[in-house]
């Protein structure tokens, strides 16, 4: 499955980022999400047969990652995932990702744009690192 098709098959509405792992030795970015659902038709329609709880959205062959603006570690909702471009070997994707911080006794919500350039994308179940879902 092409990266844009794969990303369009994922539903992350009202889901949250739990962790982001930047693995320089493997050239990977792994985003842990409280629940990843697959969308196998035009709409999600609450399909849950392929849900992955606390799963990772894994970007492989990464040669660029950035947060705009820089700030605290994302720990909030996952917004739009936009497939920006497809090059010869890599594609570019942006992900709106939120974070909350305590300031003067109040919770303040912010958004950042995570940009990743990668060769491939997959879903990984916790504890099943060798069995990535690619289609």
- Residue boundaries of the structural domains of the chain: 3-133
Prediction pTM value: 0.90
Residue 64: per-residue pLDDT = 97
Residue 14: per-residue pLDDT = 87
- Which residue matches tokens 């820089």? 70
Residue 60: per-residue pLDDT = 97
- Which residue matches tokens 């062959």? 61
Cα–Cα distance between 32 and 108 in angstroms, integer? 22
pLDDT of 46-62, one tens digit each?
878 899 999 999 999 99
pLDDT lower than 50: segments of the chain? none
**Tokens read off for 59:** 């970007």
């Amino acid at each position: 499955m092409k990266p844009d098709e794969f990303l369009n098959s994922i539903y992350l509405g009202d889901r949250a980022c739990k962790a982001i792992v930047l693995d320089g030795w493997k050239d990977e970015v792994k985003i842990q999400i409280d629940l990843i659902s697959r969308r196998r038709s035009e709409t999600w329609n609450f399909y849950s047969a392929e849900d992955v709880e606390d799963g990772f959205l894994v970007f492989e062959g990464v040669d660029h990652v950035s947060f705009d603006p820089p700030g605290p570690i994302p720990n909030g909702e996952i917004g739009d995932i936009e497939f920006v471009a497809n090059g010869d070997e890599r594609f570019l994707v942006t992900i709106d990702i939120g974070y909350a911080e305590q300031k003067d006794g109040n919770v303040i919500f912010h958004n950042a744009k995570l940009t990743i350039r990668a060769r491939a994308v997959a879903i990984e179940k916790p504890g099943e690192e060798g069995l990535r879902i690619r289609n």
